[in-house]
Structure 1
Amino acid sequence: MTSTGTPGTPGTPGTPGGAGRWMPVTSVALGAAACAVLLLVGAFAGRPDAAVLGAGPVVAAAWHMLRRPAGPVRATLARGEDDVPGAGRLTGTLVVAVPPGAVAANVDVLRLHRPVTDVLVAVRGTRRLAVETRTVRTGPQEVATAHVQGVGPGAASVAEPTRPVTRRTVVLPPAGALPDVPLPPRLRGLTGAHPSPRPGEGGDLRDVHPWAPGDRLRRIDWRVTARRAPDLRELWVRREHALAEAVVVLVVDSRDDVGPDPITWRGSQSPRPQDATSLDRARQAASAVARAFLDRGDRVGLDDLGVRRRPLPPGGGRRQLDRIRHALALTHPEGEPATRLRPPRVPSGALVVLFSTFLDDEAAVVAEQSRRAGHRVVAVDVLPQVRTRHLGAREHIALRIVQVARADRLAALTDHDVELVTWREAPAVALQTLARRAQRRPGAGVPA
């Protein structure tokens, strides 16, 4: 935690984290009481040397207590000046305001109920402290929680600790760059970035054809016309392929949010803050895929398997990427999800990209149903690399059973012509390989 001092006045009334009662420090109070007893004993026993030894600390303690501040200590934790959500760096500004007479404040900073730092800072009026933390997680999370306690002159008195002040933020998933992505079997529209088999404008050369009503004069190929019809009785025009767009629907399975430690999968323990979970990987993967398609002029939508709410319809442009990233950041497990009776509704001929851990049959069933409906389906496995060194014999057996069932589930998806990508193992190369495959395969919609 870094700090910068600025002059100012105490916080305004109603600021969160106020505390107004000042109390003597226990050690100072006990020491003053002991010295007062020594002073009385020396006075009554006729021992001026003993009385002098006790008089000094008593006078000093009384002087500090008379000078102790009066008024509340206020603390607020606001947004940092250079806060950039999504960069893995969370910042905040802790504003500490003390009444006149206070000289310092003890600041205790925690994150996720774990102590981060405990420092004593000098404060005169108001001081702004910069709080910075690092995270590998995405979505709503805590930046920090601070407890502040004022310190009076000579550290003889302290204020009542303020109420905890907390700042929360939403970390957007980063949208990484992908060199190439697969396309759906059918393209839509008359504009876009991909050449379609239909005649139009903007794409590659389709053929040279005799002029017909509706052809533009600027499309006349005079060289071909001079070679085939020197008398100009017939004009020949160059025809091109139309540029079409792809429609992609991203389906995120937010029902599971598991980390690399299998012991935490049961839900009794939460994953460690320094471990990225499966939902973090799903958010990052979906953001990267969305950016890859939107940069090419395609339309991308978003749906969630874990909740019953209206999906984000397909759209294009930079603002659509911002909507998708924000919607992904807000996805999280919400209680016991209901069983889906049908797959999410997607436009005809769209590409479906499903992000899941495939620890149960729900996501696999949705992928198979979408493939039987004729869509090209890409299943992205977002389960993190599992750590097994600390597991006991029973945990190893349980994990092995889960892994065998999951492997069978993924093999069944491959048998149903669902293309599989593992995000933890060079996903860019896998997606580029799928992009090079023929878009139109015989028997579309029928398992190979």
Structure 2
Amino acid sequence: MSKTIFKNVQILDSTGTQPYLGEVLVENERITEVSPGVGKINDPNALVIDGRGQTLMSGLTDAHTHFTWDNRPFDQLGNTPVEEHLLSTIDSAKTYLDYGYTMCFGAASAKARLDVVVRDAINAGRIPGPRYRANGMEIATTAGDLVDSITQTADGVEDMRKVVRATIGLGVDNIKMSISGEEVTGTRSAEDTYITEEELQVAVDEAHRRGVKVCTHARSRDSVYLSLKTGVDVIYHASYIDEQGMDMLEAAKDRVFVAPAINWLVATLEDAGQFGYSHEAAEQAGYAKELDVAVKGVQEMHRRGIRVLPGGDYGFAWTPHGTYARDLAHFVNLFGYTEMEAIIAATSLGGELFGQADELGKVQPGYYADMILVDGNPLEDITILQDIKKITAVMKNGEFHRRPHENMIIPKEAHEPAMATV
């Protein structure tokens, strides 16, 4: 039996309790004991880590993940040859875990099987990566695609049924329906909707029949309506939701999740200029307007208790891999979340999104040992989670992906209760 004891750590358990000094015992892949205080947990056969007062917390969640986006501009995502694309997808999976993300919810794959292949390789232990729900290529109706090279097209109920079934047959956990526009395309407005209720309903029905979740690229008002009416599981963006849509969303809040991917809007306005899409062009296209209404919408969702999760469409040229925790700062600075609420959205709600609320997303007995050590207190400064140097260890499933520094490992002959550092 593999055992690890974390001593002298500030435990941020994602229950809403303030961090407290304590110890945590991991046996094999699960947390088996969490004890306040010092010197309560001892085992001569365990690997003992002196956390030196660092924060021990659950690994983070990205609810809108694109492993296969390889830091290219928006319109070039499908251009990478499959061999190189597999390698960059593997790199993306590792990068997420490097930065402390232990749960990722796939939001579309640029090629049909890349997500599935990489998920299976992670699960088999062949490559490092987070727990992952794999997706297929986006599905859109004719003239509703955002990037044609990464999108499947289906029109009408029977064609949609066939395409959805074929995608499910690849072994995906999720399917992605692209049902509204995106201003950067120049031809597909974020306020337009490109699918009928009947087409979306058959996609949802076919997916749910096979235990597959459905997520929608839904920026427009009507796309949010359709997502809620047809039973979609995760709504991405929801920028132009109105009062009626908000009421519908609140009525479904125990079933549905929202991931606004707000960093895409922020970065498109602030960071895309160096890639040829100037701030002026982004503003003229409508991104400043959309950011304003989207922020107000999520503030209202927060007020109504809607389950909103971070995940910012990372992997585009101006939202590169490794910048994932920018979302958490946006939750605090734009949406009005407290730091604790942002952490809970990124941890405990991730367990709910994965359908494993009693096993994932908290530092509690019985939960999987997916944890990170953080040099500092993210409740005082949420931005430290953007700094990989501050994430001093990453554990997934009871095994270290990134081990603590050797000077934090207590030799077996010196196993004594660690003194708290003040």
Using the size of structure 1 for normalisation, the TM-score is 0.24
Structure with the higher helix share, 1 or 2:
2
* Greater gyration radius: 1
Using the size of structure 2 for normalisation, the TM-score is 0.25
Structure with the higher strand share, 1 or 2:
1
* Structure with higher RCO (Cα < 8 A, 6+ apart): 2
